[in-house]
Amino acid sequence: MDFEYWWLLALPFFFGLGWVTARIDIGQLLTETSTLPASYFRGLNFLISEQPDKAIEAFTEALKADSNTLELHFALGSLFRRTGEMDRAIHLHQGLLERETLAEPQKLMALAELAQDYLKAGLFDRAEEIFIKLTETRYANSALRALLEIYVREKEWLQAIDVAQRLEALTGRPLRMEVAQFHCELAQQQILLGHVGPAHTNLAEALTANRTCVRANVMLGDIEAAAGNPAAALAAWRAIELQIPNYIELVAARAMASWRSLNKAEEGLLWLQEVVRKYHLEETAQVLFEATLDLKGPEAAYRMAHEEAEQSPTLAALDRLLQAKVSGMPDGDLRLVMDSIREHLEKTAFHRCATCGYTARQFHWHCPSCGEWETFPPHFERD
Ligand SMILES: [Zn+2]
């Protein structure tokens, strides 16, 4: 490919153009800034050095000198919000909105700031009202995100679904995992009211929104098991293997109970063996062990536990080994050791949010700390 040499001649021209533009900008900046009070720059300095309280002081002083500087108002307003002085932030932005001389773009900006103040102050009704108006403006993106936050907090799942879909359309960023979770939340509300039919519909919608929504299958299985349909429950739970196999951890014990009630415990045992071997499921290994002990006796359970302890000598594996050893034996020292290991295992087990590190004894689909969805792994961690 030939190199276009004339470009070399064009380069100095572009450099020159850049230099001229820079000169103009600097010149403009100098005339503008020379009219600003010194306290404005002190405020900026405090901001840069992360001293928001002193920055507020300096900006307030600068405002006294020139109350027409809108940028100063906005800077001060967002500082108030950042430092948690919600009353002052709200008062300042309301004051701006009352100005009759305010141009339309600045009015919108003040409105957007006021809505953020209300949101942070926990005044969700007022925030919602403004954010709905802002969805038709250039603040649509941040307004929809704020609305989504409000609806999730208020557990208004239908509205959350609607807003998430609009946000998806606007930004192109997929939110199908969240939308499916919202459908599951709706199903949960229906289950609590005893409305199984509508719950089924919600869960089907969850799977349509996100075919790897494990929670929908967990819940479908639970509904079927509670209705006395163990075969249908198993069908839903086994579908998890085709989604994200690790989540079998959440249903292994319940699945085994369904197999038992179908008088197909042997089949259940084979399934447990297969999934533990294939996916190295730690919690399911315990379910498998207990089923083996029950169905095949202590010797088979001991062999299994021994093999497991040799391969990965964890405390849980050791616990199972002891359990096989003492089953059928009278209470003794070994049982005491086993009991204390068991207690330790239970006390130290927790789930950890992959996003924020929040830990909880209980599994959560929605992190109570950072508000992210599906960030808890299905297995326990131990100290
Ligand atoms: Zn979290």
Give 242 Cα–ligand 1 centroid separation in angstroms: 26
pLDDT at 3 over 70: no
The pLDDT tens digits for 251-276 are 999 999 999 999 999 999 999 999 99
Q: How far is ligand 1, taken at its centre, from the CA of residue 22, in Å? A: 45
CA of 375 to the centre of ligand 1 (A): 7
CA of 216 to the centre of ligand 1 (A): 21
The answer to whether 115 touches 131, Cβ cutoff 8 Å, is yes
Average pLDDT over residues 278-301: 92
Separation of CA 1 and ligand 1 centre (Å) = 53
Q: Token pair of 310, please? A: 């040799």
pLDDT at 21: 45
Residue 186 Cα to ligand 1 midpoint, Å, equals 22
What whole-number distance in Å separates Cα of residue 354 and Cα of residue 56?
37
Average pLDDT of the chain is 87
- Contact by Cβ (8 Å): 73, 60: no
**How many degrees, rounded to 5, is the angle at CA 88 between CA 85 and CA 92?**
140
Alpha-carbon distance of 120 to 261, in angstroms, equals 52
Strands of the chain, DSSP E: 349-352, 359-360, 381-382
Distance CA 73, CA 347 (A): 53
From ligand 1's centre to the CA of 178, what distance in Å? 14
Compute, in angstroms, the gap from residue 360 CA to the centroid of ligand 1.
Answer: 10
Ligand 1 centroid distance, CA of 366 (Å) = 8
Which residue, 191, 249, 276, 202, is CA-closest to 225?
Answer: 191
Residue 60 has pLDDT above 80, yes or no: no
| Percent over 90 (pLDDT), the chain | 61
- 339 is written with which tokens? 């009991």
Q: Which residues have CB less than 5 Å away from ligand 1 (the ion)? A: 353, 355-356, 358, 367, 369-370
pLDDT of residue 5: 57
Query: Which pLDDT band, with edges at 50, 70 and 90, does 1 fall under?
Result: very low
Q: What are phi and psi of 381, to 5 degrees?
A: -105, 160
pTM, to two decimals: 0.79
Highest mean pLDDT: which of 46-55, 82-91, 157-166, 341-350? 157-166
Pairing of strands 349-352, 359-360: antiparallel
Give the rounded distance of the alpha carbon of 275 from its chain centre.
28
Q: What are phi and psi of 331, to 5 degrees?
A: -55, 140
Tell me, what amino acid is at 252?
A
* Ligand 1 centroid – CA 374 distance (Å): 9
Taking the centre of ligand 1 as the mean of its atom positions, its distance from the CA of residue 365, in whole angstroms, is 10
Supply the pLDDT for residue 89. 93
Residue 376: DSSP 8-state:
S
